[in-house]
């Protein structure tokens, strides 16, 4: 009897979404899946409905002083011990980690037990947890061909699978429809799972500076933080725009598919979904991301002609308005970028990663 696949993940959507996609793909193949995560585990019961959920203590060093870092080390140690015994009970065929501190205790315990293991890196920069784990695993799965901060001696462990995309996003994908020269332009603005506060001021200011002939064509959908919704609504009302605003969209796949242009951050899930659906984007990386990985993600798309990227520092409403106007008046630029984004997409990434899991675990396909 073969053991389950243990998935170690938690934290932000950038780690959870690909883990969710893999879990669904494995479940369809008849694999038993166990999610090992931190104390927020029960929050993922709906996201991983077919998986057993095991929680182990975890902690992060981010934003902590010396005493806080010491407490984090102690908690991670307790998590590693709990994970070690949990893995002994579960006897998994393979353990798959998606980076981030919630995955660290489980992946460390898997290494101590000598279990077959895979880490998946969603970004173009190898994250700090994955950087530390990389010499201890069987395989390294990546979203990008080029991975910054990977030890060259470990290159032989790398398999480029792409970043698994939520099935709902893949299901919603459809060919890009170039907007007519004087027709509506569907503009989608979002900033990761929590929204981006700067977009609630920058984007309204930019749209106010558009030529009237362009602004009247904009059909805006924007994610805002809950505390920013009313202020953003008032800004748009003052200029005669009636946007669709919300703090969360449960149908993001449909929203992406309907978009002619996206303005967003450049987290791993964001850039992956833009490419899977094939949509042009203006990317404004989060400036405080660990190791500035969002800038590297955005740079990969921009270098391929799939996106235009701007640093948040120094970005003005005038500059953003100029770029939106240029794209609105030259829709062939949007069509070309959409095609290039789609060429970078790997809508089969979950299947490719599941194939690697099967290979390492020694599962046979029926």
Considering only residues 51 and 289, tell me which one the structure prediction assigns the higher pLDDT: 51
CATH of 170-344, one of 3.30.1490.100, 3.40.250.10, 2.60.410.10, 3.40.50.2000: 3.40.50.2000
3-state secondary structure of 308: strand
* H/E run at residue 158: strand 158-160
Nearest alpha-carbon partner for 334 in 311, 306, 309: 306
Residue 251, pLDDT > 60, answer yes
pLDDT at 329 over 80: yes
Is the separation of the CB atoms in 33 and 4 below 8 Å? yes
Task: Using the CB atoms, write b or e for 29-44: b if 16+ within 10 Å.
Answer: eebbbbbbbbeebeeb
Is residue 338 pLDDT above 90, yes or no?
yes
What is the dotted CATH code of the domain comprising 5-164+347-361? 3.40.50.2000
- Residue 318, C-beta contacts closer than 8 angstroms, at least 6 positions apart: 206, 209
Cβ atoms of 195 and 267 within 8 Å: the answer is no
Decide if pLDDT at 175 tops 70: yes
Residues 98, 104, 108, 109, CA torsion sign: negative
Percent of the chain whose pLDDT exceeds 70: 97
For CATH 3.40.50.2000, the residue range(s) in the chain are 5-164+347-361, 170-344
Give the model confidence (pLDDT) of 45-54 as tens digits: 888 988 999 9
Using the predicted structure, report yes or no on whether residue 297 has a pLDDT greater than 80.
Answer: yes
Mean pLDDT over all residues of the chain? 92
Helix (H, G, I), strand (E, B) or coil at 309: strand
Q: So what's the pLDDT on residue 270? A: 92
d(CA 358, CA 312): 42
Q: What single string gives the DSSP state of each residue in 36-90?
A: EE-TTGGGGTTTSTTSEEEE------TT--HHHHHHHHHHHHHHHHHHHHHHHHH
Q: Give mean pLDDT, residues 111-133.
A: 96
Q: How confident is the model at residue 1, as a pLDDT?
A: 56
Q: What is the pLDDT of residues 63-82, one digit of tens each?
A: 667 777 788 788 889 999 99
Predicted confidence (pLDDT) per residue in 190-238, tens digit: 986 555 788 999 999 999 999 999 999 999 999 998 898 899 999 999 8
What's the whole-model pTM score? 0.86
Compute the distance between CA of residue 354 and CA of residue 340 in angstroms, rounded to an integer.
26
With a cut of 80, say whether residue 292 has pLDDT above it: yes
> What pLDDT score was predicted for residue 239?
87
Instruction: Report DSSP letters for 117-131, one per residue.
Output: EEEEE-SSB--HHHH
Q: What is the pLDDT of residue 199?
A: 93
Q: Which residue has the tokens 């975890």?
A: 58
Residue 14: which pLDDT band, with cuts at 50, 70 and 90? confident
36 vs 104: CA distance, rounded Å? 10
CA angle 119, 54, 84 (to 5 degrees): 65
DSSP letter (8 states) at residue 273:
H
């Amino acid at each position: 009897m073969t053991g389950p696949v243990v998935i170690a993940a938690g934290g932000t959507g950038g780690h959870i979404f690909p883990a969710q996609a893999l879990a669904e793909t494995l479940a369809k193949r008849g694999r038993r899946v166990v999610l090992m995560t931190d104390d927020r585990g029960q929050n993922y019961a709906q996201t991983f409905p077919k998986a057993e959920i095991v929680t182990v203590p975890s902690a992060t060093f981010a934003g902590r002083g010396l005493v806080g870092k010491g407490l984090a080390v102690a908690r991670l140690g307790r998590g590693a011990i709990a994970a070690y015994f949990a893995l002994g009970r579960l006897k998994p065929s393979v353990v798959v980690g998606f980076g981030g501190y919630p995955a660290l205790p489980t992946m460390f315990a898997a290494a101590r037990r000598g279990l077959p293991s895979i880490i998946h890196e969603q970004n173009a920069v190898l994250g700090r947890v994955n950087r530390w784990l990389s010499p201890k695993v069987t395989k390294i799965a990546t979203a990008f061909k080029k991975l910054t901060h990977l030890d060259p001696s470990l290159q032989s462990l790398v398999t480029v699978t792409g970043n698994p995309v939520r099935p709902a996003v893949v299901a919603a994908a459809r060919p890009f429809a170039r907007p007519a020269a004087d027709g509506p332009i569907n503009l989608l603005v979002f900033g990761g799972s929590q929204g981006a506060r700067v977009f609630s001021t920058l984007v309204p200011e930019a749209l106010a500076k558009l030529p009237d002939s362009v602004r009247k064509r904009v059909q805006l959908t924007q994610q805002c933080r809950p505390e920013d919704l009313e202020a953003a609504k008032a800004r748009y009302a003052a200029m005669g725009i009636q946007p669709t605003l919300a703090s969360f969209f449960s149908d993001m796949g449909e929203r992406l598919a309907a978009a002619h242009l996206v303005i967003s951050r450049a987290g791993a899930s964001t850039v992956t979904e833009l490419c899977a659906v094939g949509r042009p984007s203006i990317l404004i990386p989060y400036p405080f991301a660990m190791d500035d990985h969002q800038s590297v993600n955005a740079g990969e798309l921009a270098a391929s002609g799939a996106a235009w990227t701007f640093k948040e520092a120094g970005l003005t409403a005038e500059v953003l308005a100029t770029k939106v106007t240029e794209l609105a008046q030259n829709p062939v630029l949007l069509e070309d970028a959409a095609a290039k984004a789609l060429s970078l997409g790997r809508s089969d990434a979950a299947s490719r990663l599941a194939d690697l899991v099967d290979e390492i675990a020694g599962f046979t396909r029926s």
